[in-house]
Amino acid sequence: MLSFKGFKAKDLCDPHLSPTRRTFLRVGGCGMLGLSLPSLLKMQNAAASEKHVGGPGWGKAKSIILLYLQGGPSQLDLWDPKENLPDNAKSVFKPISTKIPGVKFTENLPQLSQVNDRFTMIRSMSYTPNGLFNHTAAIYQMMTGYTTDKVSPSGQLEPPSPKDFPNFGSNIVKMRPLDEPMLPFVMLPRPLQESNVVGKGGTAGFLGKAFDPYTLYPDGDDMDMDKMSRIKIDDLQLRPEVFSVRLQRRARLRDLLNAQMPQINEAVESFELDQYYDQALSLIVSGRARDAFNLSAESDEIRDAYGRNTFGQSCLLARRLVEAGTRVVEVIWPKVANSDNHSWDHHTGLSKRMKDQSAPMLDSALSTLITDMDTRGLLEDTLVVAVGEFGRSPQRGVSTSGNNNSDDGRDHWPYCYTAVMAGAGTKRGYIHGKSDKTASAPLENPVHPAELLATIYHSFGIAPETIVYNHLNQPRELVKAEAISALMA
């Protein structure tokens, strides 16, 4: 009996999930059985894949749109309101009924309240933080499934590194490559960021730059709501003097030259230059990506429905990209964490900022995206996920992360928050998990961020335990967790 299985959350200060002495003895006995470690890992990976093949939702997703609500939206003030609370905990916003009997949202989400019969809500997202639960560390965990080793005293992480674990989108496009000329992975309209740490958790890390996302960051600051009308896609444009036929002729000339230079071909074979050149050429000549970015092709009615703001137009563009064949689209909330205005990081001014800025943008964009994609049949094989890195504290005005909070503000709270999932085999009108009377902890069915990622991989027909190799050629599981089958129809 052989075992070398990774353990969910063993890097999150959970000693009861650590490998046992028996596990190491099993692995140690492999040499006596004539098995090398690589052979063992290969067998383990195959067994893991076989174990998770099939089941509810397996392989239903062909694409995913992740709406990353960076900053940490307040569950109490959006979609998990609680009544009969003390004044310093209760939301200032009124609860409203939704399409699902007995399920309440706050008045901030009137449109989403009328379409929640089309999506799943997870009201029990939860994890225990390792050290300070700051945005950067939580973002990295949500995007990669792993925690980081090095966190500064202030809670900030080091800048992105080629040694980082890959963003889940990079793993997906590596294992489920496109067979058509389209951008496989797009991130917009700004990078993941807190303070001076930019892009942590948003790259392919040790997979290599070939699997990095195509980043679309239009000019303009976070308060510029019209920036999506100034999208620049110069690297996807054909220069006027270079027609597609002429470009393809150049490609044939390249092939002819390569045929006469076998030594050079052999020297660069490992770089797969022909493959990348052909992919780039097909992408430019086909024009699919270029056409997808043309938001003006949409009617004024649909653009207004999504919202004439950065987030709304980014969600509309995400739908267009998926229609054109993009595998992964990550829409990052267009206001950096640790900031003001429509940032979800509501340490102060929650009642006004939530009502007038952040909530209306989310309400119109997410409700329209789900309805629009459902009407077009895109939810059949597209997974839509909306989630932040954590929620907000049940009590206002207290400090849970070292930040100062006013009486009209809530601090970081990773112990209980809410996520939304729709499409690709997920249940419709389903509430998974339940929070306690103050929305401070799950009462049932807690879901760790790693389990959410495992469910995403499962939706693409990828076993979460699949082994990838890092920059040191060390084996690593995609994520140390199992998919939540209860989320699937």
pLDDT tens for each residue of 82-113: 999 999 999 999 999 999 999 999 999 999 99
pLDDT of 388 strictly over 60: yes
CB atoms within 10 A of CB 22: 10
In terms of residues, how long is the chain? 489
Place of tokens 């000549």: 285
Q: Which of 49-58, 185-194, 391-400, 452-461 has the lowest mean pLDDT?
A: 49-58
**Residue 364 to residue 304: CA distance in whole angstroms:** 9
- Give tens-digit pLDDT for 437-484: 999 999 999 999 999 999 999 999 999 999 999 989 999 999 999 999
pLDDT higher than 50, residue 3: no
Closest-CA residue to 87 (of 407, 345, 403):
407
Q: For 302-331, what is the mean pLDDT?
A: 97
Per mean pLDDT, which range of 70-79, 248-257, 294-303, 346-355 is the poorest?
248-257
Q: Is the pLDDT of residue 168 over 60?
A: yes
Please determine, for residue 235, whether its predicted confidence score (pLDDT) is greater than 60: no
* Four-residue CA torsion sign, 388, 394, 399, 404: positive
Place of tokens 């353990």: 7
Q: Of the given ranges (26-35, 80-89, 244-253, 461-470), which has the lowest mean pLDDT?
A: 26-35
Nearest Cα neighbor of 8 from 142, 146, 134 is 146
d(CA 98, CA 77): 15
Mean of pLDDT values over 129-158: 77
pLDDT of residue 384 exceeding 50, the answer is yes
Residues 389-404: what's their mean pLDDT?
A: 93
Q: What residues contact residue 56 under an 8 Å CB cut-off, 6+ apart? A: 425, 485, 488, 489
What pLDDT is recorded for position 357?
A: 97
Q: Which residue has the higher pLDDT, 378 or 231?
A: 378
pLDDT at 200 over 80: yes
Reading the block at residue 373, the tokens are 């994609």
Residue 382, burial from CB neighbour count under 10 angstroms (0-12, 13-18, 19+): buried
Average pLDDT on 286-313 reads 92
Q: Can you give the three-state secondary structure of the chain, one letter per residue?
A: CCCCCCCCCCCCCCHHHCCCHHHHHHHHCCHHHCCCHHHHHHHHHHHHHHHHCCCCCCCCCCEEEEEECCCCCCCCCCCCCCCCCCCCCCCCCCEEECCCCCCEEECCCCCHHHCHHHCEEEEEECCCCCCCCCHHHHHHHHHHCCCCCCECCCCCECCCCCCCCCCHHHHHHHHCCCCCCCCCEEEECCCCEECCEECCCCCCHHHCHHHCCEECCCCCCCCCCCHHHHCCCHHHCCCCCCCHHHHHHHHHHHHHHHHCCHHHHHHCHHHCHHHHHHHHHHHHHHCHHHHHCCHHHCCHHHHHHHCCCHHHHHHHHHHHHHHHCCCEEEEECCCCECCCCCCCCCCCCHHHHHHHHHHHHHHHHHHHHHHHHHHCCHHHCEEEEEECCCEECCCCCCCCCCCCCCCCCCCEECCCEEEEEECCCECCCEEECEECCCCCCEEECCECHHHHHHHHHHHCCCCCCCEEECCCCCEEECCCCCCCHHHEC
Q: What is the mean pLDDT of the chain?
A: 85
Residue 411: predicted pLDDT: 95
Q: Do residues 231 and 216 make contact, with C-beta atoms less than 8 angstroms apart?
A: yes
CB 144, CB 168: distance < 8 Å: yes
Query: Tokens 């449109």, residue?
Result: 111
Give the per-residue pLDDT at 256: 60
Angstrom distance (rounded) from CA 137 to CA 129: 9
pLDDT value at residue 273? 47
Q: Which two tokens stand for residue 368?
A: 């329209």
